[in-house]
Structure 1
Amino acid sequence: MDASAIVGWEKSLWRLIGFSLVAIVALAWAWRVMDWVWFSPRRKERILRQQGFKGNSYTLMRLMFGDIKENSMVYAEALGKAINIRDPAAPRVMPFVHRTLHKYGKKSYLWVGPRPRVLIMDPELMKTVMTKHNTYKKNFKVTNHIVQIIVTGLLGLEGKLWSKSRTTLNPVFQLQKLKKMIPAFQVSCDEILSEWKNLAFTKDDGSCVLDVFPYLESLTSKVVSRTLFATDYSKDKNLYVILKEMAYLANQTTRMADLPGAKYLPTETNQRAKQIMSEVRKRLTVLIKERAKEIEAGQNVEDNFFDVLLNSELAEAHGIKNMNDLFGQVKLFYFAGYESTANLLVWTMILLGIHQDWQERARQEAFQVFGDRKPDYEGLSQLKVIPMILNEVLRLYPPVVELSRLVEEETKLGEYTIPADTLLMLPIVILHRDPEYWGEDANEFKPDRFAEGVLKATNGRPAFFPFGWGPRVCIGQNYSLMEAKLVLSNILRTFSFELSPTYTHAPYVVFTVQPQHGAPLILRKLK
């Protein structure tokens, strides 16, 4: 064989090897895709069904998208209808989950794309999931990309990073620090009440109709700026507005399929999300750098959340190194710090606007404890009726309707085996109204069920999780409750209120449960 023939043969061989390698890589990639969208979901479904779980079958009709299409249709239908104030909230705030439970029972699952989401309805198992946070992890890294943009900082961290961050921030929310925040709570409340007093009470009975929801959001936003960041609310105001818009975008996208690479598509939602985050990042970067310079110069070092966070970073890194981490933490607390308390307050006013007897009991307690003086910590700690009311509101309208966790490896949960890469859903709003734990009057507003504490209300069973449970319980729980008690005490001593005939009961979820059409109330000045 001559040299040219040998060279030709070698080229052909290398060509064949190249084609073969490409074919092997393509087949391997195709197999991984098929396993992800078909074989793995079918395996997980088989494991779940063998344990008695039921749900829609994962068929070709649900390939990749799961129950997304049906979920979106059911949700759109639910949002188009108001409900009665005494109706369960779940059919409106979690309509597809509610329908799944009604159809398949408490041992059921649904599909989020090709990944099953198992509903955990047993409160003891819920408690286990929330307690063992290193096994059952936050689901944000496998959720919609828009949600990932807004859920950052402490909420999105896991393992040692979370533990370190939580240890740094815990002191900010200890009782002694919260006591010092009370004057700032009061100033913000006084400003809103002054606005209400200056409204035109022109009707014959001295009343005025007012949608209180935006005012309560303004109040709690001012509190966050003053207590957590020591900043000027007038400069922060637009930040809250655009973060709220971001929350709306995130909520809308949770009802659509989030395909690989979807975040790179030039959709209107993606473009707006990028614009918002660009603006937020610019604002917060300037704020972080300015405050860091003040701290390094020995100026303006306080015990607020912002300064504690920056001091920790500066002490460890001798300068700001992790700007992205700081940005995520600051963004989270600006957003989460105001929203939960605003929603707790608005649902409290709505329910007390209906249940005048409880409004009057709470008012009498506020006058009895505080008289004409400003609320203080000693007085707030003596309240009995108002905390019962707040607990009942949190039961009926918890800030977060469900918690989701990701099981990365096959895991035993009680008697069940949960397949790897499976989501768990803990539908808090459904548990909070389950007659099995709360009695046949579970949908009724009865604060006296908490007269002897939470455990007595549920006969010793853990069925009340408005702020989560375990090590990852909401860090701002006591902050929110203290603020709510103070604000409600002030409102009750200044106004009486009832629902306006224009009120439409339509709870819905943005990130937290909110009144879709606002909260128009009839206010009357007491003095």
Structure 2
Amino acid sequence: MKLEFDSQFLISVVFLGFVGLLCYLYTLLVEKPNRLRSKLMKQGINGPPPTLLLGNLLELKKAQSATSKSSSEFPSSHNCAALLFPLFNKWRDQYGQVFMFSLGTIPILCVDQPDIVREFSVCTSLDLGKPAYQFKQQRPLVGKGVLYSNGAEWVHQRKIVAPELYMGKLKGMMNIISESAVSVLNLWSNKIEAEGGVADIKIDECLRNFSGNVISRACFGSSYAKSEEIFLKLNTLQELLSWKNMSKCIPGMSYLPTKTNREIWTLEKEVNEKILKVVKERKKSSFHQKDLLQMIFENVKDSNLSKNAIENFVVDNCKNMYLAGFESTAVAATWCLMLLASNQDWQDRVRTEVLEICNGRIPDLGMLGKMKQLAMVIHEALRLYPPVTVVSREFLKDMKFGNLDVPKGFNLWIMIVSLHSNPDIWGDDAYKFKPERFANGTIGSCKLPHVYMPFGLGPRVCLGQNLAIIELKMLISLILSKFTFSLSPHYVHSPTLRLLIEPEHGVNILVKKL
């Protein structure tokens, strides 16, 4: 009798536990997202109805598959927002400049309204933090000189070294940048000679090598040769974490041992181990270099953080420098050269300016600062093909934005690529390559210049923007001073969205010496 009673009691406990788990999951995955949406619906904000657990992922996946097939021989229009986010344009037309949708059970407030964008750009509160869903695959990165996680949970509040490196050490990096650029020129010269005076060059890999060499030497100093494999693995990891892997937003999917997730976990482990190996070798060295790695060490040596936390700090900063200082610069340079190759008049104008300023010399910071025509081209390229398409944040507390009371748990998306090409802001020629719109700098470029944010805006502006602009100016000015180029017949215009807007099939140009 006692055994029967114990069995019934155990079954009852298991049953109640199972019911409790179902109630918890229902509250977390169904009731909470619906409650959050209803708070904005009462304020007049609407959006496409979400599907249980999947949200609007199926619609997004279908739209992504349709746009991936579109391409053209030459770019007649540079409307990346319509090409890459047709569903967002449809939702904006249907629901207004502020609407909501769902990635799985994650509620997103999508904003195209300039007034709210302005308010966002000056918000310094850590209550508007990095989205939690971004941490399922990576640890916290860096924002505004402070290392933070989901809100202010990361206890280490010391300033990191990136602002000093990127904003105060550029002059000391000029040799690294120029030497890396010259290696590209030498490679192209050899190809031209080998191919009889005109070379058809796929430039993507060359530009990645250039940018990777710069950031590797800046980060790792004399250890930079060992970082090449790290960057290759990070590049693969970036591809796996791109928009193509939307399924990671389905609740629980990022924890399942799928083929993609196993690849991600393996790569993350390998990258972390290789970075830490370089770190340990550096610590054993008696020679202290003034590179980013050494500056990070000095920044945390007196902290009260644990050994594990310090290692995470170093690893995450190295990863951050990879994306901010390597991949984004290489992709931006690729689009700049594509646009100059397809607009010969602007190529000639910028070349004339470069030859006049440099007079056969390698440009220094002062010379680069005088290249106004080149700056206009770079700004226009970053407008049409911004390195970052969406700025995302999570409301970690109830906050007021504009006239909206946004509840804790919502994510905010600022659609940079859409704001950069809005005809109401930039005029009827918004989809065309017109560098002259930046003749008076970014302030005089359009009706609402605060919406131009290729590197972010305000307190959260990208720490590496100065370095990126210097790299672009150095590389493009040297190329223009040595070569003339046009688009190759092999070029197919097909921008695609990974973590950045990239040319899906690469960029081929026909290059010959001046």
Is the pair's TM-score, using the shorter chain for normalization, greater than 0.5? yes
Displacement of 1:100 after TM fit?
Answer: 2.1
What is the aligned residue count? 506
Greater shift in the superposed pair: 371-380 or 90-99: 90-99
| CA offset digits 1:260-315 (Å, max 9, x no partner) | 44334221111211221222122111100111222xx4x2231x211100122234
Match of residue 465, structure 1, among 453, 476, 479: 453
Q: CA RMSD in A?
A: 2.7
Which residue number in structure 2 is paired with residue 172 of structure 1?
A: 165
Counterpart contact for 2:375–2:473, Cα < 8 Å: yes
| CA offset digits 1:326-379 (Å, max 9, x no partner) | 222222223432111111111000001111111111111111111111110111
Which residue number in structure 1 is paired with residue 221 of structure 2?
A: 230
Which residue number in structure 2 is paired with residue 510 of structure 1?
A: 498
Displacement of 1:461 after TM fit?
Answer: 4.3
Letter in 1 for 2:102: W
Give the secondary-structure state (helix, strand or coil) at the position aligned to 2:247.
Answer: coil
Greater shift in the superposed pair: 514-523 or 319-328: 319-328
Letter in 2 for 1:123: P
Greater shift in the superposed pair: 252-261 or 399-408: 252-261
Which residue number in structure 1 is paired with residue 189 of structure 2?
A: 197
Measure the CA separation in 2 of the matches of 1:426 and 1:52: 19
Measure the CA separation in 2 of the matches of 1:268 and 1:453: 48
Letter in 2 for 1:309: I
Greater shift in the superposed pair: 121-130 or 497-506: 121-130
Greater shift in the superposed pair: 186-195 or 266-275: 266-275
Measure the CA separation in 2 of the matches of 1:410 and 1:27: 31
Which residue number in structure 1 is paired with residue 152 of structure 2?
A: 159
Measure the CA separation in 2 of the matches of 1:290 and 1:277: 20
Match of residue 117, structure 2, among 126, 138, 149: 126
Mark the CA change 1:446 to 1:252 in structure 2 (over 3 Å): closer, same or farther: closer
Measure the CA separation in 2 of the matches of 1:18 and 1:416: 50
Greater shift in the superposed pair: 195-204 or 422-431: 195-204
Which residue number in structure 1 is paired with residue 299 of structure 2?
A: 312
| CA offset digits 1:228-275 (Å, max 9, x no partner) | 321455432222221111011001564215344433422111121122
Letter in 1 for 2:163: N
Counterpart contact for 2:341–2:486, Cα < 8 Å: yes
Q: State whether structure 2 residue 202 is matched by structure 1 residue 211.
A: yes
Mark the CA change 1:261 to 1:111 in structure 2 (over 3 Å): closer, same or farther: closer
Q: State whether structure 2 residue 106 is matched by structure 1 residue 115.
A: yes
Mark the CA change 1:256 to 1:201 in structure 2 (over 3 Å): closer, same or farther: same
Structure 1 segments unaligned to the other structure (5+ residues): none
Give the secondary-structure state (helix, strand or coil) at the position aligned to 2:33.
Answer: helix
Counterpart contact for 1:467–1:473, Cα < 8 Å: yes
Counterpart contact for 2:242–2:499, Cα < 8 Å: yes
Match of residue 79, structure 2, among 88, 91, 95: 88
Match of residue 32, structure 2, among 11, 32, 40: 40
Counterpart contact for 1:370–1:379, Cα < 8 Å: yes
Counterpart contact for 1:124–1:462, Cα < 8 Å: no
Letter in 2 for 1:311: E
State the structure with more CA Rg.
1
Counterpart contact for 1:153–1:332, Cα < 8 Å: yes
Mark the CA change 1:374 to 1:468 in structure 2 (over 3 Å): closer, same or farther: same
Displacement of 1:137 after TM fit?
Answer: 1.3
Match of residue 430, structure 2, among 413, 418, 442: 442
| CA offset digits 1:427-469 (Å, max 9, x no partner) | 0000000111111111111111111121211235411111111
Mark the CA change 1:107 to 1:320 in structure 2 (over 3 Å): closer, same or farther: closer
Displacement of 1:203 after TM fit?
Answer: 6.7
Give the secondary-structure state (helix, strand or coil) at the position aligned to 2:393.
Answer: strand
Counterpart contact for 2:338–2:507, Cα < 8 Å: yes
Matches within 5 A, 1:346-357: 346-357=334-345
Give the secondary-structure state (helix, strand or coil) at the position aligned to 2:509.
Answer: strand
Match of residue 289, structure 1, among 268, 280, 291: 280
| CA offset digits 1:499-520 (Å, max 9, x no partner) | 1111111111221111111000
Greater shift in the superposed pair: 106-115 or 232-241: 232-241
Measure the CA separation in 2 of the matches of 1:256 and 1:104: 25
Mark the CA change 1:318 to 1:251 in structure 2 (over 3 Å): closer, same or farther: closer
Which residue number in structure 1 is paired with residue 174 of structure 2?
A: 182
Letter in 1 for 2:164: P
Measure the CA separation in 2 of the matches of 1:259 and 1:86: 35
Letter in 2 for 1:458: C
Displacement of 1:387 after TM fit?
Answer: 0.9
Counterpart contact for 1:212–1:520, Cα < 8 Å: yes
Counterpart contact for 2:160–2:296, Cα < 8 Å: no
Measure the CA separation in 2 of the matches of 1:300 and 1:433: 47
Displacement of 1:174 after TM fit?
Answer: 2.2
Letter in 1 for 2:21: W
Give the secondary-structure state (helix, strand or coil) at the position aligned to 2:199.
Answer: strand
